[in-house]
Amino acid sequence: MPSPHPLQPPEEAPPFSYVEGRAEVRSDRLRRPHLLYFYPKDDTPGCTREACAFRDAWTEFEAAGLKVVGVSPDTEASHEKFRRKHQLPFPLIADAGAALARAFGVYGEKKFMGRSHEGVHRVSFLISPEGRILKTYPKVKPDEHARQVLEDLSTPTD
């Protein structure tokens, strides 16, 4: 089984799109920076904690001008149920077959309880409005990730 190899700055992000309201947002027409966060499965403990942390800090992300978008291999129906149940204010991309996860290099071997299987790794990407990866977060901790991203946004770069 292949190991994941997440894309790194300043690589170009693979194309992606999502629906917000009734409009389709495409990665070749971004108007502001995006945090694309990949997660394994809707409504599991770690994934729920991570999503709710983004929800709870939503006004800070909005004030910072950063759009948060979640991605998992779950279906649109599963995403809608997850969004409603936890009142998530951001879109979720249904990545059936994990094509987007593979393109970003976050699909590969995982180990759980001594067994290996393939799946989506919890990795996030900060993407510029021009579609370049600004930062890769390879080892995300669900409870800390939203704060980490906000801290990075408030830290001046050289």
For the annotated catalytic residues, the residue numbers are 47
- Kindly report the average pLDDT of the chain as a whole number: 93
**Position 120 in a domain:** yes
DSSP 158: -
How many domains, in total, are found in the chain? Answer: 1
**Position 50 in a domain:** yes
**Position 1 in a domain:** no
Query: Which CATH number does the domain housing residue 72 bear?
Result: 3.40.30.10
pTM: 0.94
- Identify the domain containing residue 49 by its residue range: 33-153
30-72: pLDDT as tens digits: 999 999 999 999 999 999 999 999 999 999 999 999 999 999 9
Nearest to 14 by CA among 34, 39, 32: 34
pLDDT of 157 higher than 80: no
